[in-house]
Protein backbone atom coordinates (compact mmCIF):
# COMPACT_ATOMS: atom_id res chain seq x y z
CA UNK A 1 0.00 0.00 0.00
CA UNK A 2 1.25 3.47 -0.75
CA UNK A 3 0.71 6.65 1.18
CA UNK A 4 -1.05 9.25 -0.94
CA UNK A 5 -1.28 12.92 0.01
CA UNK A 6 -5.01 12.43 0.57
CA UNK A 7 -4.73 9.50 2.89
CA UNK A 8 -2.44 8.75 5.81
CA UNK A 9 -1.45 5.15 6.41
CA UNK A 10 -0.20 4.52 9.90
CA UNK A 11 1.83 1.33 10.01
CA UNK A 12 2.35 -0.64 13.18
CA UNK A 13 6.08 -0.98 13.77
CA UNK A 14 5.32 -4.13 15.77
CA UNK A 15 3.24 -6.03 13.22
CA UNK A 16 4.18 -4.22 10.00
CA UNK A 17 0.46 -3.98 9.22
CA UNK A 18 -1.50 -0.80 8.50
CA UNK A 19 -3.34 0.43 11.52
CA UNK A 20 -7.06 0.85 11.33
CA UNK A 21 -9.11 3.39 13.24
CA UNK A 22 -11.69 1.65 15.46
CA UNK A 23 -15.09 1.11 13.79
CA UNK A 24 -16.77 3.26 16.44
CA UNK A 25 -15.15 6.36 14.85
CA UNK A 26 -14.70 9.53 16.87
CA UNK A 27 -15.98 7.96 20.09
CA UNK A 28 -12.66 6.13 20.23
CA UNK A 29 -9.06 7.40 20.07
CA UNK A 30 -6.66 4.50 19.50
CA UNK A 31 -3.66 4.68 21.78
CA UNK A 32 -1.30 4.42 18.81
CA UNK A 33 -2.45 7.92 17.84
CA UNK A 34 -0.53 9.19 20.90
CA UNK A 35 2.57 7.06 20.45
CA UNK A 36 3.32 6.61 16.74
CA UNK A 37 6.42 8.63 15.73
CA UNK A 38 5.50 8.48 12.01
CA UNK A 39 2.10 9.95 12.75
CA UNK A 40 3.76 12.71 14.75
CA UNK A 41 5.77 13.76 11.69
CA UNK A 42 2.65 13.80 9.53
CA UNK A 43 0.80 15.91 12.11
CA UNK A 44 3.39 18.63 11.58
CA UNK A 45 2.51 19.15 7.93
CA UNK A 46 -1.16 18.19 8.00
CA UNK A 47 -2.13 20.08 11.16
CA UNK A 48 0.44 22.56 12.46
CA UNK A 49 1.59 23.65 8.99
CA UNK A 50 -1.84 22.87 7.59
CA UNK A 51 -5.14 24.75 7.38
CA UNK A 52 -5.29 26.00 10.98
CA UNK A 53 -4.56 29.26 12.79
CA UNK A 54 -1.84 28.88 15.43
CA UNK A 55 -1.46 31.21 18.40
CA UNK A 56 1.99 32.85 18.36
CA UNK A 57 1.75 35.54 21.05
CA UNK A 58 0.20 38.72 22.30
CA UNK A 59 0.43 42.01 20.40
CA UNK A 60 1.71 43.60 23.60
CA UNK A 61 4.76 41.30 23.52
CA UNK A 62 6.03 43.18 20.45
CA UNK A 63 4.76 46.66 21.28
CA UNK A 64 7.16 48.84 19.26
CA UNK A 65 8.57 48.79 15.72
CA UNK A 66 11.64 46.54 15.66
CA UNK A 67 10.46 44.30 18.49
CA UNK A 68 10.43 40.58 17.88
CA UNK A 69 9.52 37.41 19.73
CA UNK A 70 10.61 33.87 18.88
CA UNK A 71 8.30 30.91 19.27
CA UNK A 72 7.25 27.69 17.55
CA UNK A 73 4.37 26.41 15.49
CA UNK A 74 4.55 22.68 16.02
CA UNK A 75 8.21 21.81 15.36
CA UNK A 76 8.81 24.88 13.21
CA UNK A 77 10.67 27.87 14.71
CA UNK A 78 8.86 31.13 14.07
CA UNK A 79 9.62 34.77 14.74
CA UNK A 80 6.89 37.35 15.27
CA UNK A 81 8.01 40.89 14.36
CA UNK A 82 6.62 44.40 14.37
CA UNK A 83 7.81 46.35 11.34
CA UNK A 84 8.53 50.08 11.19
CA UNK A 85 4.99 50.81 9.99
CA UNK A 86 3.55 48.99 13.03
CA UNK A 87 2.41 45.93 11.06
CA UNK A 88 2.88 42.42 12.46
CA UNK A 89 4.70 39.66 10.60
CA UNK A 90 5.22 35.97 11.35
CA UNK A 91 8.23 34.44 9.62
CA UNK A 92 9.82 31.03 9.70
CA UNK A 93 12.92 31.56 11.82
CA UNK A 94 15.22 29.72 9.43
CA UNK A 95 17.82 31.50 7.36
CA UNK A 96 17.24 31.47 3.60
CA UNK A 97 20.95 30.80 3.12
CA UNK A 98 21.70 27.51 4.87
CA UNK A 99 18.97 27.13 7.37
CA UNK A 100 20.43 28.56 10.56
CA UNK A 101 18.19 30.07 13.25
CA UNK A 102 18.11 33.79 12.55
CA UNK A 103 16.74 35.08 15.87
CA UNK A 104 18.05 33.26 18.90
CA UNK A 105 16.66 35.21 21.86
CA UNK A 106 13.13 34.82 23.24
CA UNK A 107 12.57 38.56 22.71
CA UNK A 108 14.60 41.29 21.07
CA UNK A 109 14.67 44.54 19.20
CA UNK A 110 16.47 45.12 15.89
CA UNK A 111 16.36 47.14 12.69
CA UNK A 112 17.24 44.04 10.67
CA UNK A 113 17.20 40.32 11.48
CA UNK A 114 20.76 39.17 10.88
CA UNK A 115 21.92 35.57 10.78
CA UNK A 116 25.05 34.98 12.81
CA UNK A 117 26.50 32.35 10.42
CA UNK A 118 27.28 34.41 7.25
CA UNK A 119 25.50 37.67 8.10
CA UNK A 120 22.62 37.52 5.66
CA UNK A 121 20.17 40.07 6.97
CA UNK A 122 16.46 40.37 6.53
CA UNK A 123 13.96 43.17 6.98
CA UNK A 124 11.35 42.94 9.72
CA UNK A 125 8.94 41.90 6.95
CA UNK A 126 11.22 38.96 6.12
CA UNK A 127 12.75 40.18 2.84
CA UNK A 128 16.46 39.64 2.21
CA UNK A 129 18.15 43.01 2.42
CA UNK A 130 21.82 42.08 2.38
CA UNK A 131 24.02 39.03 1.82
CA UNK A 132 27.60 39.50 3.04
CA UNK A 133 30.23 39.55 0.26
CA UNK A 134 27.54 38.96 -2.36
CA UNK A 135 29.74 40.80 -4.92
CA UNK A 136 32.81 38.70 -4.02
CA UNK A 137 36.25 40.18 -3.39
CA UNK A 138 38.85 41.34 -5.90
CA UNK A 139 36.82 39.83 -8.70
CA UNK A 140 36.50 36.40 -7.11
CA UNK A 141 33.79 34.59 -5.21
CA UNK A 142 30.42 36.15 -4.60
CA UNK A 143 26.95 35.12 -5.58
CA UNK A 144 26.02 34.33 -9.21
CA UNK A 145 24.99 37.25 -11.42
CA UNK A 146 21.43 35.95 -11.63
CA UNK A 147 21.03 35.91 -7.85
CA UNK A 148 17.65 37.50 -7.12
CA UNK A 149 17.32 38.85 -3.60
CA UNK A 150 13.55 38.84 -3.82
CA UNK A 151 13.59 35.04 -4.06
CA UNK A 152 15.57 34.47 -0.86
CA UNK A 153 13.58 35.97 1.98
CA UNK A 154 12.31 34.23 5.09
CA UNK A 155 9.13 32.21 4.64
CA UNK A 156 6.18 34.49 5.41
CA UNK A 157 3.05 33.29 7.16
CA UNK A 158 -0.37 34.90 7.19
CA UNK A 159 -1.02 36.84 10.42
CA UNK A 160 -4.26 38.02 11.97
CA UNK A 161 -5.18 39.34 15.40
CA UNK A 162 -8.19 39.33 17.67
CA UNK A 163 -8.41 41.36 20.89
CA UNK A 164 -4.61 41.48 21.21
CA UNK A 165 -4.02 37.78 20.42
CA UNK A 166 -1.83 37.06 17.40
CA UNK A 167 -2.39 33.98 15.26
CA UNK A 168 -0.47 32.82 12.19
CA UNK A 169 -1.01 30.19 9.54
CA UNK A 170 1.05 28.50 6.83
CA UNK A 171 -2.10 28.04 4.81
CA UNK A 172 -3.17 30.30 1.96
CA UNK A 173 -6.54 28.58 1.86
CA UNK A 174 -7.80 28.68 5.43
CA UNK A 175 -10.57 31.20 6.06
CA UNK A 176 -10.06 34.41 8.07
CA UNK A 177 -9.25 34.02 11.77
CA UNK A 178 -12.66 35.38 12.84
CA UNK A 179 -14.58 33.05 10.63
CA UNK A 180 -12.36 30.09 11.61
CA UNK A 181 -13.02 30.78 15.32
CA UNK A 182 -16.76 31.10 14.73
CA UNK A 183 -18.89 31.32 17.89
CA UNK A 184 -15.86 30.71 20.10
CA UNK A 185 -14.61 34.24 19.30
CA UNK A 186 -17.35 35.40 21.72
CA UNK A 187 -15.44 33.80 24.60
CA UNK A 188 -12.28 35.70 23.59
CA UNK A 189 -14.12 39.01 23.35
CA UNK A 190 -15.76 38.45 26.74
CA UNK A 191 -12.39 38.25 28.52
CA UNK A 192 -10.05 40.47 26.50
CA UNK A 193 -11.88 43.75 26.87
CA UNK A 194 -8.98 46.22 26.90
CA UNK A 195 -5.21 46.62 26.43
CA UNK A 196 -3.18 43.89 28.11
CA UNK A 197 -0.12 43.86 30.35
CA UNK A 198 2.11 40.77 30.61
CA UNK A 199 2.76 39.73 34.23
CA UNK A 200 5.07 36.77 33.68
CA UNK A 201 5.85 33.49 31.97
CA UNK A 202 6.70 29.94 32.64
CA UNK A 203 7.20 26.93 30.45
CA UNK A 204 6.31 23.48 31.60
CA UNK A 205 7.70 20.33 29.99
CA UNK A 206 4.98 17.67 29.95
CA UNK A 207 6.22 14.17 29.27
CA UNK A 208 3.27 13.23 27.12
CA UNK A 209 2.01 13.48 23.56
CA UNK A 210 0.60 16.92 22.74
CA UNK A 211 -2.89 15.51 22.18
CA UNK A 212 -3.24 14.33 25.78
CA UNK A 213 -2.94 17.97 26.79
CA UNK A 214 -5.00 19.31 23.90
CA UNK A 215 -7.88 17.11 25.06
CA UNK A 216 -7.59 18.26 28.67
CA UNK A 217 -9.07 21.79 28.49
CA UNK A 218 -11.75 20.43 26.13
CA UNK A 219 -12.67 17.94 28.84
CA UNK A 220 -15.22 19.65 31.06
CA UNK A 221 -16.14 16.28 32.61
CA UNK A 222 -12.87 16.02 34.56
CA UNK A 223 -12.71 19.57 35.89
CA UNK A 224 -14.78 19.10 39.01
CA UNK A 225 -13.67 15.54 39.62
CA UNK A 226 -9.89 15.59 39.29
CA UNK A 227 -9.37 19.02 40.82
CA UNK A 228 -9.83 19.05 44.59
CA UNK A 229 -9.63 22.79 44.82
CA UNK A 230 -12.48 23.44 42.40
CA UNK A 231 -15.02 21.20 44.07
CA UNK A 232 -14.01 21.49 47.70
CA UNK A 233 -13.76 25.27 47.76
CA UNK A 234 -16.69 25.93 45.43
CA UNK A 235 -14.83 27.67 42.57
CA UNK A 236 -16.39 25.29 40.11
CA UNK A 237 -18.82 22.45 40.77
CA UNK A 238 -21.11 20.39 38.62
CA UNK A 239 -24.02 21.63 40.73
CA UNK A 240 -23.38 25.19 39.55
CA UNK A 241 -24.77 26.89 36.47
CA UNK A 242 -22.44 26.10 33.60
CA UNK A 243 -22.27 25.53 29.88
CA UNK A 244 -20.17 24.69 26.85
CA UNK A 245 -19.95 26.49 23.51
CA UNK A 246 -18.46 24.97 20.35
CA UNK A 247 -17.98 26.56 16.96
CA UNK A 248 -19.98 25.10 14.09
CA UNK A 249 -17.15 22.85 12.93
CA UNK A 250 -16.40 21.61 16.46
CA UNK A 251 -12.77 22.69 16.24
CA UNK A 252 -12.85 25.05 19.20
CA UNK A 253 -14.66 25.18 22.51
CA UNK A 254 -15.06 27.10 25.70
CA UNK A 255 -16.83 26.13 28.85
CA UNK A 256 -17.81 28.19 31.82
CA UNK A 257 -19.10 27.96 35.36
CA UNK A 258 -20.78 30.52 37.60
CA UNK A 259 -19.65 30.31 41.21
CA UNK A 260 -22.28 30.62 43.94
CA UNK A 261 -25.11 29.26 41.78
CA UNK A 262 -25.43 25.84 43.42
CA UNK A 263 -28.68 24.05 42.79
CA UNK A 264 -29.46 21.30 45.26
CA UNK A 265 -30.16 17.95 43.71
CA UNK A 266 -30.25 14.43 45.04
CA UNK A 267 -28.26 12.97 42.13
CA UNK A 268 -25.48 15.52 42.63
CA UNK A 269 -25.27 14.77 46.36
CA UNK A 270 -25.15 11.07 45.62
CA UNK A 271 -22.14 11.41 43.28
CA UNK A 272 -20.39 14.21 45.15
CA UNK A 273 -20.20 12.19 48.35
CA UNK A 274 -17.94 9.77 46.46
CA UNK A 275 -15.71 12.39 44.88
CA UNK A 276 -12.17 12.72 46.14
CA UNK A 277 -12.38 16.31 44.98
CA UNK A 278 -15.37 17.34 47.08
CA UNK A 279 -14.36 17.27 50.70
CA UNK A 280 -16.44 19.36 53.09
CA UNK A 281 -13.97 18.72 55.90
CA UNK A 282 -11.17 20.75 54.31
CA UNK A 283 -10.70 24.43 54.99
CA UNK A 284 -7.90 26.87 54.15
CA UNK A 285 -6.09 28.73 56.91
CA UNK A 286 -5.55 31.57 54.45
CA UNK A 287 -8.40 31.68 51.92
CA UNK A 288 -7.04 34.73 50.08
CA UNK A 289 -6.10 32.57 47.12
CA UNK A 290 -9.82 32.01 46.51
CA UNK A 291 -10.79 35.69 46.53
CA UNK A 292 -12.67 36.57 43.39
CA UNK A 293 -13.82 39.91 42.08
CA UNK A 294 -16.45 39.60 39.36
CA UNK A 295 -14.79 42.18 37.15
CA UNK A 296 -16.76 41.29 34.01
CA UNK A 297 -20.02 41.35 35.96
CA UNK A 298 -21.65 38.24 34.51
CA UNK A 299 -20.98 35.88 37.42
CA UNK A 300 -18.68 33.58 35.40
CA UNK A 301 -15.91 32.45 37.75
CA UNK A 302 -14.23 30.02 35.33
CA UNK A 303 -14.01 30.16 31.54
CA UNK A 304 -11.58 27.89 29.75
CA UNK A 305 -11.27 28.26 25.99
CA UNK A 306 -9.39 25.99 23.63
CA UNK A 307 -8.70 26.42 19.92
CA UNK A 308 -7.36 23.71 17.67
CA UNK A 309 -4.55 22.70 17.77
CA UNK A 310 -2.50 24.49 20.37
CA UNK A 311 -4.09 27.40 22.22
CA UNK A 312 -5.82 27.88 25.56
CA UNK A 313 -7.13 31.10 27.08
CA UNK A 314 -8.21 30.91 30.68
CA UNK A 315 -10.07 33.15 33.07
CA UNK A 316 -10.15 31.34 36.37
CA UNK A 317 -11.35 33.66 39.12
CA UNK A 318 -9.17 36.70 38.30
CA UNK A 319 -6.26 34.77 36.85
CA UNK A 320 -5.82 35.37 33.13
CA UNK A 321 -3.39 33.41 30.98
CA UNK A 322 -2.71 32.04 27.56
CA UNK A 323 -1.24 28.57 27.26
CA UNK A 324 0.56 27.65 24.05
CA UNK A 325 1.13 23.98 23.37
CA UNK A 326 4.35 23.14 21.55
CA UNK A 327 4.96 19.48 20.69
CA UNK A 328 8.52 18.32 21.36
CA UNK A 329 8.51 14.87 19.85
CA UNK A 330 5.90 12.18 20.05
CA UNK A 331 5.98 11.86 23.83
CA UNK A 332 6.93 15.32 25.07
CA UNK A 333 5.34 18.75 24.92
CA UNK A 334 6.06 22.21 26.22
CA UNK A 335 3.25 24.31 27.60
CA UNK A 336 4.12 28.01 27.58
CA UNK A 337 2.08 30.00 30.08
CA UNK A 338 1.77 33.76 29.69
CA UNK A 339 0.12 35.37 32.70
CA UNK A 340 -1.37 38.76 32.05
CA UNK A 341 -3.68 41.45 33.31
CA UNK A 342 -4.88 44.73 31.88
CA UNK A 343 -2.74 47.82 31.40
CA UNK A 344 -5.05 49.79 33.70
CA UNK A 345 -5.08 47.26 36.59
CA UNK A 346 -4.23 48.76 39.96
CA UNK A 347 -1.60 47.16 42.17
CA UNK A 348 -4.18 45.27 44.24
CA UNK A 349 -5.67 43.60 41.17
CA UNK A 350 -2.22 42.73 39.81
CA UNK A 351 -1.35 41.12 43.15
CA UNK A 352 -4.60 39.14 43.15
CA UNK A 353 -3.95 37.85 39.63
CA UNK A 354 -0.42 36.83 40.57
CA UNK A 355 -1.54 35.17 43.82
CA UNK A 356 -3.95 33.02 41.84
CA UNK A 357 -1.09 31.72 39.70
CA UNK A 358 -0.50 29.50 42.74
CA UNK A 359 -3.89 27.99 42.03
CA UNK A 360 -4.05 27.86 38.25
CA UNK A 361 -0.50 28.42 37.00
CA UNK A 362 1.58 25.54 35.68
CA UNK A 363 2.51 24.50 39.25
CA UNK A 364 -0.75 25.71 40.75
CA UNK A 365 -2.82 23.54 43.03
CA UNK A 366 -5.43 23.00 40.32
CA UNK A 367 -3.45 22.97 37.09
CA UNK A 368 -0.57 20.83 38.29
CA UNK A 369 -3.01 17.93 38.22
CA UNK A 370 -3.68 18.30 34.48
CA UNK A 371 -0.07 17.74 33.43
CA UNK A 372 0.21 14.91 35.96
CA UNK A 373 -2.76 13.12 34.40
CA UNK A 374 -1.35 13.58 30.87
CA UNK A 375 1.92 12.01 31.98
CA UNK A 376 0.16 9.13 33.71
CA UNK A 377 -1.89 8.46 30.57
CA UNK A 378 1.23 8.38 28.42
CA UNK A 379 2.86 5.93 30.81
CA UNK A 380 -0.23 3.75 30.74
CA UNK A 381 -0.54 3.46 26.96
CA UNK A 382 3.12 3.83 26.00
CA UNK A 383 3.16 0.47 24.20
CA UNK A 384 0.68 2.04 21.79
CA UNK A 385 -0.34 -1.18 20.18
CA UNK A 386 -3.75 -1.92 21.54
CA UNK A 387 -6.71 -0.27 23.09
CA UNK A 388 -8.45 3.03 22.65
CA UNK A 389 -9.97 5.84 24.69
CA UNK A 390 -13.71 5.50 25.28
CA UNK A 391 -15.36 8.87 24.60
CA UNK A 392 -19.11 8.45 25.03
CA UNK A 393 -19.88 10.68 28.01
CA UNK A 394 -22.93 12.67 26.94
CA UNK A 395 -23.63 10.42 23.96
CA UNK A 396 -22.14 9.05 20.76
CA UNK A 397 -22.57 11.87 18.25
CA UNK A 398 -20.90 15.21 17.60
CA UNK A 399 -23.95 17.02 18.96
CA UNK A 400 -24.90 14.77 21.85
CA UNK A 401 -24.24 16.18 25.27
CA UNK A 402 -25.35 19.59 24.01
CA UNK A 403 -24.00 22.35 26.19
CA UNK A 404 -23.66 20.17 29.28
CA UNK A 405 -20.31 20.08 30.98
CA UNK A 406 -21.01 16.43 31.81
CA UNK A 407 -20.04 15.54 28.32
CA UNK A 408 -17.09 14.57 26.13
CA UNK A 409 -18.70 16.24 23.14
CA UNK A 410 -15.75 18.59 22.54
CA UNK A 411 -13.31 15.66 22.58
CA UNK A 412 -15.41 13.69 20.07
CA UNK A 413 -15.38 16.77 17.87
CA UNK A 414 -11.60 17.06 18.19
CA UNK A 415 -11.04 13.48 17.02
CA UNK A 416 -13.54 13.95 14.21
CA UNK A 417 -11.54 16.93 12.96
CA UNK A 418 -8.22 15.20 13.64
CA UNK A 419 -9.18 12.28 11.41
CA UNK A 420 -10.22 14.73 8.71
CA UNK A 421 -6.91 16.65 8.86
CA UNK A 422 -4.89 13.46 8.97
CA UNK A 423 -6.87 11.48 6.41
CA UNK A 424 -7.26 8.65 8.90
S1 LIG B 1 23.05 30.27 7.27
FE2 LIG B 1 22.36 32.27 7.61
S3 LIG B 1 23.77 33.51 6.61
FE4 LIG B 1 24.45 31.53 6.20
FE1 LIG C 1 -8.06 20.32 34.50
Which of 162, 180, 213 terminates a domain? The answer is 162
Domain membership of residue 304 as a residue range: 192-422
**Index of the ligand 1 atom closest to the CA of residue 119:** 3
Helix H or strand E segment including 403: none
Q: Are 324 and 340 in contact (CB under 8 A)?
A: no
Residue 167 domain-assigned (yes or no): no
Residue 5 domain-assigned (yes or no): no
* CATH code for the domain of 100: 2.102.10.10
Q: Is 196 helix (H, G, I), strand (E, B) or coil?
A: strand
Q: Does 201 lie in the same domain as 138?
A: no
What's the CA gap between 392 and 215, in Å, rounded? 14
* CATH code for the domain of 202: 3.90.380.10
Q: Does 414 lie in the same domain as 267?
A: yes
Q: For ligand 1, say whether the CB of 117 is within 6 Å of any of its atoms.
A: yes
Q: Which ligand is nearest to the CA of 97?
A: 1
Question: Which residues, other chains included, contact 195 with Cβ-Cβ below 8 Å and sequence gap of 6+?
Answer: 60, 164, 342, 343, 344
Kind of pairing, strands 88-92 and 76-82?
antiparallel
Q: Does 349 lie in the same domain as 290?
A: yes
Q: Does 232 lie in the same domain as 349?
A: yes
Q: Does 264 lie in the same domain as 137?
A: no
CB atoms within 10 A of CB 2: 5
**Index of the ligand 1 atom closest to the CA of residue 131:** 3
Q: How far is ligand 2, taken at its centre, from the CA of residue 175, in Å?
A: 31
Q: Does 252 lie in the same domain as 328?
A: yes
Closest residue by Cα to atom 4, ligand 1, is 118
DSSP string, 250-268: SS-EEEEEETT-----HHH
Cis geometry, peptide bond prior to residue 309 (ω within 30 degrees of 0): yes
Residue 289 domain-assigned (yes or no): yes
Q: Is 282 exposed, middle or buried (0-12, 13-18, 19+ CB in 10 A)?
A: exposed
Q: Does 241 lie in the same domain as 143?
A: no
Q: How far is ligand 2, taken at its centre, from the CA of residue 131, in Å?
A: 49
**Index of the ligand 1 atom closest to the CA of residue 100:** 1
Q: Which ligand is nearest to the CA of 104?
A: 1
Closest residue by Cα to atom 3, ligand 1, is 118
Q: Are 331 and 208 in contact (CB under 8 A)?
A: yes
What's the CA gap between 101 and 223, in Å, rounded? 40
Q: Does 409 lie in the same domain as 295?
A: yes
What's the CA gap between 355 and 366, in Å, rounded? 13
Which of 145, 162, 179 terminates a domain? The answer is 162
Residue of 96, 102, 118 to test ligand 1 pocket, by largest number of atoms within 8 Å of CB: 118
Residue 389 domain-assigned (yes or no): yes
What pLDDT, on a 0 to 100 scale, did the predictor assign at position 1? 37
pLDDT in tens, the chain (424 residues): 334 445 666 788 777 888 899 999 999 999 999 999 999 999 999 999 999 999 999 999 999 999 999 999 999 999 999 999 999 999 999 999 999 999 999 999 999 999 999 999 999 999 999 999 999 999 999 999 999 999 999 999 999 999 999 999 999 999 999 999 999 999 999 999 999 999 999 999 999 999 999 999 999 999 888 988 877 877 777 778 899 999 999 999 999 999 878 777 767 666 766 676 667 778 888 888 888 999 999 999 999 999 999 999 999 999 999 999 999 999 999 999 999 999 999 999 999 999 999 999 999 988 999 999 999 999 999 987 789 999 999 999 999 999 998 999 999 999 999 999 999 9
Residue 28 domain-assigned (yes or no): no
Residue 144 domain-assigned (yes or no): yes
Q: Does 143 lie in the same domain as 58?
A: yes
Q: Tell me how many degrees the CA angle 26-336-216 measures, rounded to the nearest 5.
A: 25
Q: Does 357 lie in the same domain as 313?
A: yes
Residue of 113, 114, 117 to test ligand 1 pocket, by largest number of atoms within 8 Å of CB: 117
What stretches of 296-408 adopt beta strand conformation (E)? 300-307, 311-316, 319-327, 333-342, 388-390
Question: Which residues, other chains included, contact 86 with Cβ-Cβ below 8 Å and sequence gap of 6+?
Answer: 65
Q: For ligand 1, say whether the CB of 268 is within 6 Å of any of its atoms.
A: no
Q: Does 216 lie in the same domain as 139?
A: no
Q: Which of 107, 147, 149, 97 is nearest to 127 (CA)?
A: 149
Residue 224 domain-assigned (yes or no): yes
What's the CA gap between 107 and 80, in Å, rounded? 9
Q: Tell me how many degrees the CA angle 405-410-411 measures, rounded to the nearest 5.
A: 115
Q: Does 299 lie in the same domain as 351?
A: yes
Look up the pTM and report it.
Answer: 0.94
Q: Which ligand is nearest to the CA of 236?
A: 2
Q: Which ligand is nearest to the CA of 94?
A: 1
Q: For ligand 1, say whether the CB of 115 is within 6 Å of any of its atoms.
A: yes
Residue 17 domain-assigned (yes or no): no
Number of domains in the chain: 2
Amino acid sequence: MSCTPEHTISMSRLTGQPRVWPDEGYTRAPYWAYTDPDLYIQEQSRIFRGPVWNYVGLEVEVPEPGHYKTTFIGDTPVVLTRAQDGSLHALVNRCAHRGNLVCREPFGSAKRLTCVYHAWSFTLEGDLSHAAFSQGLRGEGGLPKDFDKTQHGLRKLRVETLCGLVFATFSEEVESLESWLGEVATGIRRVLTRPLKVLGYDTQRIHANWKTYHENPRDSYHANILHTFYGTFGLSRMSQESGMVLDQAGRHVYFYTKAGTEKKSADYDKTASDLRSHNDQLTLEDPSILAWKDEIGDGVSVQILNTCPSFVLHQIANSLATRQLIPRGVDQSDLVWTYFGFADDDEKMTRLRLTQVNLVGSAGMVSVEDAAVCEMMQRAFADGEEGASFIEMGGKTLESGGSSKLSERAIRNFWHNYRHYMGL
